[in-house]
Amino acid sequence: MAGGADAGAQGGLRADSGVEGETGVCRLDTMSVSVTSVPRPASHLLLEITNQSGVTCRLIGSPVVRFNDGRAAVPQDENTRPQTVVTLPPGESGYAGLTTSAANAPAADGRKATGLTVSLAGEDSRRAVDLPGDSVEIGDGAAVGYWQSDASDALLW
């Protein structure tokens, strides 16, 4: 999803079937959210969201991420689309990779962010999250991946 586009339509990943008894969509107010740095790949962060509710829910599409450097939402990387929607039982986590710059476009313009906000597909609410360290340099090509059920899958791109 390119900068600031609505997160509700996730290209074929249905947000809610409307069928009674089916697993509902995850809500940000029932989740904990964190961001950690990873040694590899370079210029990547790992976004982790954990279901704190007492019921299983589904993570739809990708998170909507905005660094606090005043720019639009980080574009979604369509190449990270999973085969299925991520389902989170209570206490389980989902993951999304976040690149801070393209591999061939290091953060040379001096943009720095100390935090970010995260929203879920179809929600207006946002959660502020601190970044690891004092700040992170943001360059051209920053992108966020779709939710994955495994941290290593979230970092494959």
Instruction: For the chain, give every domain's residue range.
Output: 25-154
What is the predicted pLDDT for the residue at 58? 96
Cis peptide before 132 (omega within 30 of 0): no
What is the predicted pLDDT for the residue at 157? 74
What is the predicted pLDDT for the residue at 105? 60
pLDDT digits (tens, 9 = 90+) for 134-147: 888 888 889 999 99
What is the mean predicted confidence (pLDDT) over 118-128?
93
pLDDT above 70 as % of the chain: 82
What is the C-alpha radius of gyration for the chain, rounded to an integer number of angstroms? 15
Alpha-carbon distance of 117 to 142, in angstroms, equals: 15
Give yes or no for residue 2 having a pLDDT over 50.
Answer: no
Give yes or no for residue 122 having a pLDDT over 80.
Answer: yes
Give yes or no for residue 153 having a pLDDT over 90.
Answer: yes
pLDDT digits (tens, 9 = 90+) for 25-69: 999 999 999 999 998 888 899 999 999 999 999 999 999 999 997
Specify the CATH class of 25-154 in words.
mainly beta
Query: Please, what is the Cα angle at 70 between 66 and 72, to 5 degrees?
Result: 50
Amino acid making up residue 151: A
Instruction: With cut-offs at 50, 70 and 90, classify the pLDDT of residue 20.
Output: very low
9-13, 32-36, 107-111: least confidently modelled range? 9-13
Alpha-carbon distance of 138 to 109, in angstroms, equals: 8
Residue whose C-alpha is closest to residue 66's, from 47, 79, 52: 47
